[in-house]
């Protein structure tokens, strides 16, 4: 079923019109008798994926990240090997 209301009536009964749209009714808001807006229900967000991550999600960005980025910096490695406590 389709419901058509003017803007003033829609402002006064917005909560009711939203509820009716949620129940599946088509709600049309009109200005001077001419339909201008249709209230529709926003679809539910997709369920997040669980498990393994998808590979290649960023392929469209054409990024090239060299593997050397993931190797430890020699200066940092030297620093990490040193003791944080002074020797006596």
pLDDT above 90: residue 26: yes
Sole residue written with tokens 């009711």 = 16
How does pLDDT run across 29-76, given as a tens digit for each residue?
999 999 999 999 998 888 777 777 766 777 778 888 888 888 888 888
Note the pLDDT of residue 31: 96
All structural domains of the chain, each given as residue ranges with its CATH number in brackets, are 2-39 (3.40.1620.10)
C-alpha pair distances (Å), 73 with each of 17, 66, 79, 83, 84: 62, 14, 10, 18, 19
Average pLDDT score over residue span 1-12:
94
pTM score > 0.75 for this model?
no
Per DSSP, 51 falls in state: S
């Amino acid at each position: 079923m389709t419901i058509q209301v003017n803007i003033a009536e829609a402002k006064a009964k917005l909560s009711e019109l939203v509820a009716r749209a949620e129940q599946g009714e088509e709600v049309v808001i009109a200005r001077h008798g001419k339909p201008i807006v249709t209230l529709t229900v926003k679809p539910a967000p997709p369920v997040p994926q669980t498990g393994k991550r998808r590979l290649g999600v960023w392929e469209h960005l054409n990024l090239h990240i060299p593997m050397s980025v993931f190797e430890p910096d020699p200066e940092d490695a030297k620093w990490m090997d040193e003791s944080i406590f002074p020797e006596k």
